[in-house]
Amino acid sequence: MTDADRENLLAGERAGLRYRLALPQLAARGVSGLQLGALAGSSLEFKDHRDYQPGDDIRRIDWNAFARSDKLTLKLFREEISPHCDLLFDGSRSMALTGSAKAAATLGVSALLATAAANAGCSVAAWLARSGCEPVINGQLRPSQWEGIAFDYAGTPVEALRRTPPRWRKQGTRVFISDLLWMEEPAALLQLLARDAAAVIVIQLLALQDWRPSERGRLRLVDAETGAQHEINVDDAALNRYQAAVARHQQHWRAACQQSGARFVSLVAEEIVNDWNISALVKQEGILLAH
């Protein structure tokens, strides 16, 4: 990692101090956590009684109450919650598109969201989709301490997840950051993200030239991941067709996320790296709350 990478992580971490991740109720539930919730669970704080039912844990029967009333009742305790966030970002070559702020924004937004998740009381684990889905070195520490991040993978995150499935925490919140610029159906990735998850957030991060390219004329296009080259003639009509195709692709992802229950938001790298203004995450989907 370069000094610039480290600065981008630090900038995102600082920006994230102003926010906390908005957690749905399911994402805040756990088996043995440190916080107390409003529902019945397994902490040591007594809450109430209810009648015994076949299959209940007999260790929770209140035998003193049984001696008084000859009726089996269970002790209920306050729910314990242990929220967790697994944050996965795309490590493919297209995320470090030459001449763009894409890599800087990916690092900064990842750091911002990890910090916001910690502010919400989550434990956090950062993951990178490269040849497999691999844990970021120091990925459970503050983002400014992460190591070993590189955008050098010639493939898709779907392939990485299938090749090396991650050991994600069940019933946690999963955040995925990528440009989403591959051809496979969104459902393939969303099914992998949603398995045993309480909530899924998909953040599309595009470079300005991904969204609104300005070059015209006879151009040689080089695939950022495969190195394949194509010579094409680009005029206004071609640019309009391209932008319409990108918009359709984005809408396809948005609709797939809505259908699967995931939250979706799209960001443009160059619009956020100067001041880390991520109002879209706050206003559009309520992903972040003021801390």
Helix (H) or strand (E) run with residue 168 in it:
none
Examine the pLDDT at 183 and tell me if it is beyond 80: yes
Per CATH, is 3-28+83-290 categorized as 3.30.70? no
Q: Which residue has the higher pLDDT, 119 or 48?
A: 119
Q: Indicate the pTM of the whole model.
A: 0.80
Task: Give me the residue spans of the domains in the chain.
Answer: 3-28+83-290, 35-81
pLDDT per residue as tens digits for the range 251-263: 999 999 999 999 9
User: How much is the average pLDDT of 236-254?
Assistant: 92
pLDDT digits (tens, 9 = 90+) for 107-117: 999 999 999 99
The model's pLDDT over 190-206, given as tens digits with 9 standing for 90+, comes to 999 999 999 999 999 99
Task: Provide mean pLDDT across the span 238-247.
Answer: 90
In three-state form (DSSP H/G/I as H, E/B as E, the rest C), the secondary structure along 209-277 is HHHCCCCCEEEEEECCCCCCEEEEEECHHHHHHHHHHHHHHHHHHHHHHHHHCCEEEEEEHHHCCCCCC
